Amino acid sequence: MNKSTPGNALKGAALALAVSTVLTACGGTDSSSSDAKAEATPSATPATEVRNPLVATFDGGLYILDGESLKLTRTIELPGFNRVNPAGDEDHVIVSTDTGFRVLDATAQDFTSIEYEGAKPGHVVRHAGRTVLFTDGTGEVNVFDPADLSKGKKPQGRTYTSAEAHHGVAIELAGGELLSTLGTEEKRTGALVLDENDKEITRNENCPGVHGEAAARDEAVAVGCEDGILIYQDGEFTKIDAPDDYGRIGNQSGSDASPILLGDYKTDPEAELERPTRVSLIDTEKKKLRLVDLGVSYSFRSLARGPEGEALVLGTDGAIHVIDENSGKVERKIPAVGSWQEPLDWQQPRPTLFVRDATAYVSDPGDKALHAIDLETGKKITSVTLPESTNELSGVVAGH
């Protein structure tokens, strides 16, 4: 499905993507900025085939691009603030719109009829052959096999509704357990785990401001807290405290190639926008947390994992900082874009990092550009200039 890369890097990439969850972070509780009913309007019937599609959002629509050449193959008009995540198969992308989650067949370059309606569609999580959608406005969780999306109708799957609606996240484990966050619109407190029949197995409410998730090797699943991180593994929760009274880990990225998770790290609860320079590395085996100071700031769209599990952070210096997740050492810096600053409004464009196999895709909204970079050599494979500045960036990723 994806671009072929020789050697161990490709094997590592496939493994890393096998059960890792995609970083589906956000900087606020709203998933949309418009109350109008979003109507998608394709620009024209696609004239060219698209390989390993990428999907980028811009103000007013979506771009579909060829993942190898970066050629823009189709533009779809779609009002509102839209978000994109891999659906979990080789064809589809989940688009969070004003009206709910919609399924885009990126290979066919058009929306399907499949939609999960609901206010404030939030996190999309892929793990253990299942894709999980969490709708913040209703607290509804939908679980399905992404392979069923190709059948052209809404997949039959599991549905669970949280006790109260909140900005949350859920993930289904290989054994059928469902981990889902706990909270209300005003306060989020932790997570619970249900068996395959939705009977509660355990819960932990020692995770204030719970946000985001990631999975590491041996199915260690973590959610972030305002004072550390909460890990669920082998039927038990373990809390790892931050070294600061307020040490918020809200966005994480995992890899099945490593027991160590990459997270952000913020220490100022009063900041309108904190521009942190430190990231967190969470060892889910040793239950320890390490902080790494990059010397430059980054944003919630800056975190990713490399094909061997290495931690990747797109800094405001324009470089991808490659961190050895075991030692915490920044091994090298790969030039990607020019220097930038994170905007105050989390919905405004900023450079975004999306990694697939051994290729890093980096958007540069200031120059309306998108670059493909080989992580092994550090060299740019190709670049493209687009009609409008892009915001979110994702693509098809099969296997999880």
pTM of the model: 0.89
Q: Is pLDDT above 60 for 339?
A: yes
Share above pLDDT 90 across residues of the chain, in percent, rounded to a whole number: 87
Contacts of 197 (CB under 8 A, 6+ apart): none
What average pLDDT does range 242-251 have in this prediction? 97
Residue pair 267/227 in contact by the 8 Å Cβ criterion = no
pLDDT at residue 398, rounded to an integer: 83
What average pLDDT does range 180-203 have in this prediction? 97
pLDDT at residue 48, rounded to an integer: 81
* 143-to-4, 101, 112, 343, 374 alpha-carbon distances in Å: 30, 13, 18, 34, 34
Contacts of 98 (CB under 8 A, 6+ apart): 32, 34, 35, 36, 37, 38, 79, 80, 81
Q: Is pLDDT above 80 for 137?
A: yes
* 214-to-105, 185, 254, 303, 387 alpha-carbon distances in Å: 25, 22, 5, 12, 34
Contacts of 161 (CB under 8 A, 6+ apart): 138, 139, 140, 141
Q: Is pLDDT above 60 for 24?
A: no
pLDDT in tens, 142-186: 999 999 999 989 999 999 999 999 999 999 999 999 999 999 999
Q: Is pLDDT above 60 for 28?
A: no
pLDDT at residue 152, rounded to an integer: 86
Distance CA 254, CA 138 (A): 27
What average pLDDT does range 295-322 have in this prediction? 97
> CB 27: neighbour CB atoms within 10 A?
18
Distance CA 32, CA 89 (A): 25
At 16, the pLDDT band (50, 70, 90 cuts) reads very low
What average pLDDT does range 102-117 have in this prediction? 98
Rounded to the nearest angstrom, the gap between the alpha carbon of residue 12 and the centroid of all alpha carbons in its chain is 19
- Tell me the two tokens of residue 178: 């469902």
pLDDT in tens, 46-97: 558 999 999 999 999 999 999 999 999 999 999 999 999 999 999 999 999 9
Q: Is pLDDT above 70 for 2?
A: no
pLDDT at residue 342, rounded to an integer: 96
**Residue that wins the pLDDT comparison between 344 and 25:** 344
Distance CA 339, CA 318 (A): 5
- Tell me the two tokens of residue 373: 């970079």
Region of poorest pLDDT, from 38-52, 61-75, 268-282, 299-313: 38-52
Distance CA 347, CA 328 (A): 30
